[in-house]
Chain A
Amino acid sequence: DIQMTQSPSSLSASVRDRVTITCRASQSITTYLNWYQQKPGKAPKLLIYAASSLQSGVPSRFSGSGSGTDFTLTISSLQPEDFATYFCQQSYSTPYTFGQGTKLEIK
């Protein structure tokens, strides 16, 4: 199985900060990398698919990059509603494994 490792596991930041979360795959997954946001008590929401494509309705302050084994999710200017947990996931081969999550908290 492909292992997905996110860093950091948690992060404190302030409104209007630029934030980057990284995700590393244990082998090449080309660009089959997705990012999700989850708020407490809610289902996850797809933000980015295929490493860099923004899901419809997602604000443009979210962006994704990378290919092969190393990927990043960037939030260009944090808004209050962005404080949540973020997960990466590879969809290159089954099982479609997730990273362990990054909890983004208010500083």
Chain B
Amino acid sequence: EVQLVESGGGLVKPGGSLRLSCAASGFTFSNAWMSWVRQAPGKGLEWVGRIKRKTDGGTTDYAAPVKGRFTISRDDSKNTLYLQMNSLKTEDTALYYCTTLRYLDWANDYWGQGTLVTVSS
């Protein structure tokens, strides 16, 4: 059974940093393209970014609002995905989901339960 468990959320001041983790199990993590999607309270879904598997280059892509501030990385030896968030803004307040991406059509097929990030002074 595929499981994705996010952690690391919490309350942080504007300008601060936070690192989210996503522990994966039930599938071959190193073969998977992974992504982060967020949802502000009471709002819709917003794609944050993705990371390819290493055999496809391991490169990343980001949405414009987070580019240059957020970094997605992976540790295939630990089956873990990360989201390093720097220079946080109040508008980054959201529930952050880790997802797997279906190969070749890039749908988000498995989702974690999310971890809440609150940016407030």
- Report which A residues bind B (CB closer than 8 A): 1, 32, 34, 36, 38, 43-46, 49-50, 55, 87, 89, 91, 94-101
Contacts and interface: CB of A to CB of B under 8 A. Distances in A.
Contacts of A34: 105, 107-108
Contacts of B97: 43-44
A23 to B, nearest CB: 13
A36 B108 contact: yes
Chain B contact patch, size range? 20 to 34
Contacts, number: 63
- Counting from the closest, the 7 A-B pairs by CB-CB distance are A91-B106, A49-B107, A43-B111, A34-B107, A94-B61, A95-B63, A98-B45
Nearest to A35: B107
Nearest to B106: A91
B3 to A, nearest CB: 12
Contacts of B106: 32, 91, 96
A86 B72 CA distance: 27
B47 A96 contact: yes
B1 interface: no
Given A1-B64, A49-B102, A95-B61, A101 B44 contact: yes
15 contacts: A32-B105, A34-B105, A43-B97, A43-B114, A44-B45, A49-B105, A50-B107, A87-B45, A94-B61, A95-B47, A95-B61, A95-B63, A96-B106, A97-B47, A99-B44
A49 B104 CA distance: 11
B87 interface: no
Contacts of A43: 97, 111-114
A36 B102 CA distance: 14
B74 interface: no
Nearest to B48: A95
Contact of B109 (A55, A87, A94): A55
A8 to B, nearest CB: 14
A76 B101 CA distance: 28
B91 interface: no
A87 B109 CA distance: 14
Contacts of A87: 44-45
